[in-house]
Chains A and B, each alone.
Chain A
């Protein structure tokens, strides 16, 4: 296919995905963006959130942690600290983690030391739940 795009998702544990895809949507720190073949060379940081790509007309979702994405016209390389497919997510656990971090966050103010950490934990839980619902 002419509109093919190479995608590599690399995490410290493994190559989470390599293959040809048609389109990828990445949760950038400045907002979500989509990449098709022929995108201008581009480097963006990736935030906690939901990554998805279309391969053979089928959409696959991943819950991802922070990292960055390097985009050249025919290839996208995404380096992230974790990437979980919807099948691998324990939704019950994610829901518990969400309740837990919401409760803890309620007691903290922006100046507290743990605030950023809890906020990130909450964002991760929300991303996991949302991905888990899309299997």
Chain B
């Protein structure tokens, strides 16, 4: 049995760990709250944007735009959006696995696949395993729309120049605090817009004047649409990361508690054993003395 001193040392080490995990849990909780607020604030923008985009798409026949061009997909790019920091359970691992599987499938189909890494964890994992052509790391702790614009700029021009044919975005969709679902969406060519627009009231926009023309307006809105999609993914990643970290740290804290409980029990047993042994010694000693006397 471990000595009393050893167990005492272990108990104090575990309770220090518990303090840290509890603090991390609270930090993650407050970050999660602000990430959620950010999502909340983004909703009116995204909603209104989609309204206008959809109703515009209804009015423009035969929409053509370089971002909608469908080509035979030979060269594929994948954006893998992970967090910058670890200690958030399976958040990154699951996403990286999904990305790896997706890329393997595409390579097996004879496609040429390269990777754009957003977030340090994904970059670190794929550094030696894949062809990383661009990366954005250590950006997720504080970001705004400019990050989404920067990511989008990185991918829009090469696509228009036909340097590659398809772009996929892989990120953790935020379902709730404890559930994040790795999701693959095709960014380019953009899935045709305006299909979910059945609920747009056609009368509402009947008398609009447009400046510039509908087509020209559409050309300007499509890159903004990409920004919206990327920004939404960034927001979900950030909320999901902190939600996952909250859950992971909560688990760790309760594991620490269990450990402390069982160690304390062990410690008490050891102490009891030591006392018993001492008593036996004393009793044995007096008995021996009385026999001698």
- What is the interface of chain A, defined by CB distance below 8 A to chain B? 10-15, 28-30, 40-45, 66-68, 70, 77, 79, 81-82, 113, 117
Contact A13 B208 (CB under 8 A): no
- Flag B41-54 by CB within 8 Å of A: 1 or 0 each: 11011101100100
B185 to chain A, nearest CB (A): 19
- Residue B144 is within 8 A (CB to CB) of chain A in the complex: yes
Contact B48 A77 (CB under 8 A): yes
- Residues A41 and B224 in contact in the complex (CB < 8 Å), given A12-B145, A13-B38, A13-B144: no
Segment with Cβ contacts to A, from B3-11, B75-83, B210-218? B210-218
List of A residues within 8 angstroms of B210 by Cβ: 42-44
Contact A44 B45 (CB under 8 A): no
B262 to chain A, nearest CB (A): 48
Contact A117 B208 (CB under 8 A): no
Contact A12 B212 (CB under 8 A): no
The B interface, classified by DSSP as helix, strand, loop or mixed, is helix
List of A residues within 8 angstroms of B252 by Cβ: none
Contact B208 A41 (CB under 8 A): yes
What band does the interface of chain B fall in when counting residues whose beta carbon is under 8 Å from A?
20 to 34
Which residues of B (205-244) have their CB < 8 Å from a CB of A?
A: 205, 207-212, 216-217, 220-221, 224, 227-228, 231
List of B residues within 8 angstroms of A15 by Cβ: 41, 44
Contact A44 B38 (CB under 8 A): no
List of A residues within 8 angstroms of B52 by Cβ: 43, 68, 70, 79
Contact A40 B207 (CB under 8 A): yes
Quick one: which of B49, B149, B153, B211 contacts A42, CB cutoff 8 A?
B211
Contact B209 A43 (CB under 8 A): yes
A73 to chain B, nearest CB (A): 10
A133 to chain B, nearest CB (A): 24
- What is the interface of chain B, defined by CB distance below 8 A to chain A? 38, 41-42, 44-46, 48-49, 52, 56, 144-146, 148-149, 153, 157, 205, 207-212, 216-217, 220-221, 224, 227-228, 231
Quick one: which of A42, A77, A81, A82 contacts B224, CB cutoff 8 A?
A81
- State A117–B210 Cα separation when bound (angstroms): 26
Q: What number of residue pairs across chains A and B have CB atoms under 8 A from each other? A: 78
Quick one: which of B41, B44, B220 contacts A66, CB cutoff 8 A?
B220
**In this complex, what residue of A is CB-closest to B158?**
A113
Contact B211 A66 (CB under 8 A): no
- State A50–B19 Cα separation when bound (angstroms): 51
- Residues A10 and B48 in contact in the complex (CB < 8 Å), given A29-B212, A44-B210: yes
A-B CB proximity, top 8 nearest: A44-B211, A12-B145, A45-B220, A42-B209, A14-B41, A12-B45, A41-B207, A10-B45
**In this complex, what residue of A is CB-closest to B46?**
A12
**In this complex, what residue of A is CB-closest to B49?**
A79
Contact B145 A81 (CB under 8 A): yes
B16 to chain A, nearest CB (A): 39
List 8 additional A-B contacts (Cβ < 8 Å) besides A29-B212, A43-B217: A10-B44, A10-B48, A43-B208, A44-B217, A66-B224, A68-B220, A77-B48, A79-B48
List of A residues within 8 angstroms of B41 by Cβ: 12-15
B156 to chain A, nearest CB (A): 11
